């Protein structure tokens, strides 16, 4: 059997293990995988996972050798069976969705707003999320967090859904009126409200007061002691998310530094990344920056470590959606104000 064909079958076998054991990751990289099947499986795994490839090195089933003494016809038959597997998985997803609905019903209802009404929030987060944005803010009168979400799979807000009638886009500290349909809490993000995309968002004013009245004072940022390769105290096991009633905080840091460097060197996914290292309540955190303005500013410059003054600076930190068993903590915005 030619070497390339052997690698192709190995890659396919590994793909099936990945699909069965790590379905969320499989779905996210599915199209990329289909376009690169002919690569050797070790290289393709590195392409799929980047720095996360190391997560699979301890998986005995994923590392063990597979039997490739099969003819091409058998390989093709197995490839055609993928659609049947997907149908079975879809049935499982429906069952999981039913379970999720039951779990969501257990989430304590937030009576911050009436369903089918307009809400006014001070925009405190306007961060990157998939092809759209994650926008969140606080109601001035009640200090309640509201995160507008869409019906998209990842709940991001598209450009057309978030724009004002004059075509402008929301900015940090805008006071925004948004029409919501219903409260849509999850176990990891209880502040979510489904928006009505038939209505434009409206800018009512700009928040000019001190942000001190909007600050949060948690003891810590969703615990500590769980870190990614490049971060520090920047993730939490998904099963623990339900222990927290908030997935958003506006905080005053004790120190702040922006770090720009290449991450994932040695893998096909190596790229420059912007992180924020800061101290809060005497604990150090190192989060990925998803504030597009801050990210763009620092990516346009050199790599390095950039200490910042904390005078008149507040950070909006957020707990992201579950990914591979964890929810990652993000710096959603860095707000400088007078």
In 3-state terms, what secondary structure has residue 9?
helix
Q: Kindly report, residue by residue over 193-220, the tens digit of the pLDDT.
A: 999 999 999 999 999 999 999 999 999 9
> Could you tell me the pLDDT band of residue 245, with boundaries at 50, 70 and 90?
very high
32 and 102 both lie in a single domain:
yes
Of the candidates 106, 130, 160, which is a domain's last residue? 106
Statement: residue 237 has pLDDT above 70: yes
Residue 291, domain extent = 214-336
Quickly state the pLDDT bin for 14 (edges 50, 70, 90). low
Q: Which residue has the higher pLDDT, 292 or 28?
A: 292
> Burial, 74: exposed, middle or buried (Cβ in 10 Å; 0-12, 13-18, 19+)?
exposed
**Within a domain: 133:** yes
**What is the pLDDT at residue 171?**
94
- The verdict on residue 84 lying in a domain is yes
Please report the pLDDT score of residue 270 as a whole number.
83
143 shares its domain with 45: no
Separation of alpha carbons 11 and 41, rounded Å: 4
Torsion over CA of 104, 107, 108 and 114, rounded to 10 degrees?
A: -30
Do residues 146 and 176 share a domain? yes
pLDDT score, position 77? 32
Same domain membership, residue 130 and residue 88: no
Task: Assign 3-class secondary structure to 262-304.
Answer: EECCCCCCCEEEEEEEEEECCEEEEEEECCHHHHHHHHCCCCE
pTM of the model: 0.67
* Percent of the chain topping pLDDT 70: 65
Query: Per the structure block, which two tokens stand in for 172?
Result: 């940090």
d(C-alpha 311, C-alpha 124), whole Å: 18
Cβ atoms 255, 279 nearer than 8 A? yes
CA separation for the pair 156, 133 (Å, rounded): 5
Residues 242 and 314 in one domain: yes
Q: Are residues 151 and 84 in the same domain?
A: no
What are the backbone angles phi and psi of residue 321, rounded to the nearest 5°? -70, 155
* Residue 315 included in any domain: yes
Please name which of 244, 201, 212, 216 lies closest in space to residue 316, comparing C-alpha atoms: 216
pLDDT, tens digit, 9 for 90 and up, residues 57-98:
455 555 554 444 433 333 333 333 333 333 333 344 344 444
**Tally: H helices and E strands in the chain:** 8, 14
Please tell me whether residues 201 and 183 are part of one structural domain: yes
Considering the domain architecture, whether residues 156 and 174 belong to the same structural domain is answered as yes
In this model, does residue 183 exceed pLDDT 80?
Answer: yes
Residues with Cβ within 8 Å of 320's Cβ and at least 6 positions away in sequence, in order, are 327, 328, 329, 330
Let me know if residue 112 belongs to a domain.
no
Q: Could you tell me if 179 and 195 lie in one domain? A: yes
Q: Are residues 325 and 240 in the same domain?
A: yes
Asked if residue 269 and residue 243 are part of one domain, the reply reads: yes
Structural domain count of the chain: 3
Kindly state whether residue 113 falls inside one of the protein's structural domains. Answer: no
Give domain status of residue 74, yes or no. yes
Residue finishing a domain among 106, 140, 159: 106
Among residues 154, 181, 208, the one where a domain terminates is 208
Q: Both 248 and 290 in a single domain? A: yes
């Amino acid at each position: 059997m030619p070497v390339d064909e052997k690698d192709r079958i190995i890659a396919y076998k590994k793909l099936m293990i990945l699909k069965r054991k790590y379905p969320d990751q499989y779905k996210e990289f599915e199209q990329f995988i289909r376009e690169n099947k002919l690569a050797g499986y070790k290289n393709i795994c590195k392409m799929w996972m980047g720095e996360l490839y190391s997560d699979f090195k301890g998986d005995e089933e994923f590392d063990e050798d597979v039997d490739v003494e099969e003819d091409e016809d058998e390989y093709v038959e197995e490839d055609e069976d993928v659609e049947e597997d997907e149908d079975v998985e879809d049935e499982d997803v429906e069952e999981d969705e039913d379970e999720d609905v039951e779990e969501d019903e257990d989430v304590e209802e937030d009576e911050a707003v009436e369903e089918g009404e307009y809400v006014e929030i001070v925009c405190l987060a306007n961060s990157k999320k998939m092809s759209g944005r994650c926008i969140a803010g606080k109601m001035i009168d009640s200090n309640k967090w509201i995160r507008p979400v869409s019906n998209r799979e990842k709940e991001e807000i598209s450009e057309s859904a978030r724009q004002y009638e004059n075509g402008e886009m929301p900015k940090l500290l805008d006071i925004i009126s948004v029409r919501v349909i219903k409260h849509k809490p999850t176990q990891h993000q209880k502040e979510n409200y489904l928006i009505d995309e038939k209505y434009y968002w409206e800018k009512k004013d700009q928040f000019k007061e001190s942000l001190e009245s909007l600050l949060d004072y948690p003891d810590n940022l969703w615990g500590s002691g769980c870190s990614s390769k490049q971060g520090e105290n920047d993730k939490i096991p998904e099963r623990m998310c339900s222990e927290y009633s908030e997935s958003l905080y506006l905080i005053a840091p004790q120190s702040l530094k922006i770090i720009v460097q290449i991450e994932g060197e040695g893998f096909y996914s190596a790229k420059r990344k912007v992180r924020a290292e800061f101290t809060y309540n005497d604990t150090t955190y190192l989060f990925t920056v998803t504030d597009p303005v801050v990210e763009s500013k620092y990516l346009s410059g050199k790599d390095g470590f950039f200490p910042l003054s904390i005078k008149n600076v507040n950070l909006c930190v957020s707990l992201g959606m579950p990914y591979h068993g964890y929810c990652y903590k993000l710096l959603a915005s860095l707000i400088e104000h007078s």
